[in-house]
């Protein structure tokens, strides 16, 4: 059971636009822990004005709740969102990226000390309790997208369902499924997607195994790779490459250099 707790305080939940109260979310986690064998919940941090001490206190409280998996996401200001409008109007100032990096490192340190280290950029788990659902994405396995707006990757084809529920339901009634678009993915595009997803994982990617599975060579800039290794941002072990903990702070830049 994965629960979108998001925050431990009512004022933070109101800022995030969530409809539930903090005590309601905490009761949901307690109930889930009684009923399910494995429970995970999400928290959002790097909020405007959030200090190291405040986030450390919240994360310590979350870790004490005893779940074996946590998804911990930094607040990002995406184009076209309510948050972007609020920033443009001067209603709040996003957290400084350098301070966000400090909070990210604090997050990794506290979760590792609690025995649920990061196995992906924003996901932390006790060994053996990693999300099998999400690992399918990151290891570039096949998965079905079923509900409104869902994306899928099956047998080399990308599928996208209608985003609006009413359009999805109408398509379902008319054609038996809610697919709006289905396109074949060329092998080189699949390889790029697989590398972008796989390098989010602490385990990285076995390039030879991936090439055999997808039937195409991995297009990696090896000069850039060697440079990143020398900088301590990338690790190479035989045919496996992985981004280091320090590299995860600049993952987008690493992907741009490698691919």
Domain regions of the chain by residue span = 2-129, 137-185, 188-258
Backbone angles phi, psi at 221, to 5 degrees: -80, 100
- Given a cut of 90, is residue 51 above it in pLDDT? yes
- Given a cut of 90, is residue 252 above it in pLDDT? yes
The angle subtended at Cα 120 by Cα 114 and Cα 123, nearest 5°, is 55
**Residues 150/161, Cβ–Cβ less than 8 Å:** yes
Q: Mean of the pLDDT values across residues 106-117?
A: 97
Q: Looking at residue 19, what DSSP letter applies?
A: S
Burial class (CB in 10 A: 0-12, 13-18, 19+), 16: middle
* Mean pLDDT value across the chain: 95
Nearest to 194 by CA among 245, 159, 186: 186
- Given a cut of 90, is residue 219 above it in pLDDT? no
The Cα–Cα gap between 45 and 13 comes to: 11
Question: Which CATH number applies to 2-129?
Answer: 3.30.750.200
The Cα–Cα gap between 8 and 4 comes to: 11
Question: Which CATH number applies to 188-258?
Answer: 1.10.10.920
| Longest distance between any two alpha carbons in the chain, whole Å | 57
The Cα–Cα gap between 159 and 84 comes to: 29
H or E stretch covering 236: strand 234-237
pLDDT of residue 81: 87
**Residues 134/123, Cβ–Cβ less than 8 Å:** yes
Quick one: CA dihedral 163, 168, 171, 176, positive or negative?
positive
Give pLDDT tens digits for 121-143: 999 999 999 999 999 999 999 99
53 pLDDT band, cuts 50/70/90, is very high
pTM: 0.90
CA 85 to the chain's CA centroid: 24
The Cα–Cα gap between 190 and 121 comes to: 21
82 pLDDT band, cuts 50/70/90, is confident
């Amino acid at each position: 059971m994965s629960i979108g707790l998001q925050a431990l305080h009512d004022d933070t939940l109101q800022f995030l636009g969530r409809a539930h109260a903090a005590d309601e979310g905490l009761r949901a986690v307690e109930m889930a822990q009684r009923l399910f064998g494995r429970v995970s919940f999400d928290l959002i941090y790097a909020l405007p004005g959030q200090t190291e001490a405040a986030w450390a206190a919240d994360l310590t409280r979350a870790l004490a709740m005893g779940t074996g998996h946590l998804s911990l996401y930094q607040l990002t200001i995406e184009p076209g969102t309510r948050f972007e409008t609020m920033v443009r109007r001067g209603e709040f100032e996003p957290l400084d990226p350098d301070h966000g990096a400090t909070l990210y490192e604090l997050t990794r340190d506290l979760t590792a000390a609690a025995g649920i280290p990061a196995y992906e950029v924003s996901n932390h788990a006790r060994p053996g309790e990693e999300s099998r659902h999400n690992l399918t994405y990151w290891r570039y396995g096949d998965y079905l997208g079923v509900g409104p707006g869902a994306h899928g990757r099956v047998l080399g084809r990308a599928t996208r369902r209608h985003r609006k529920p009413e359009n999805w339901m109408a398509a379902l009634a008319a054609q038996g499924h809610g697919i709006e678009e289905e396109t074949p993915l060329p092998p080189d595009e699949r390889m790029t997607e697989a590398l972008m997803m796989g390098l989010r994982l602490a385990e990285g990617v076995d390039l030879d195994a991936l090439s055999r599975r997808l039937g195409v060579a991995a297009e990696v800039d090896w000069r850039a790779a060697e440079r990143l290794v020398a900088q301590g941002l990338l690790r190479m072990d035989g045919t496996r490459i992985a981004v280091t903990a320090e590299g995860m702070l600049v993952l987008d830049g690493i992907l741009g250099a490698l691919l």
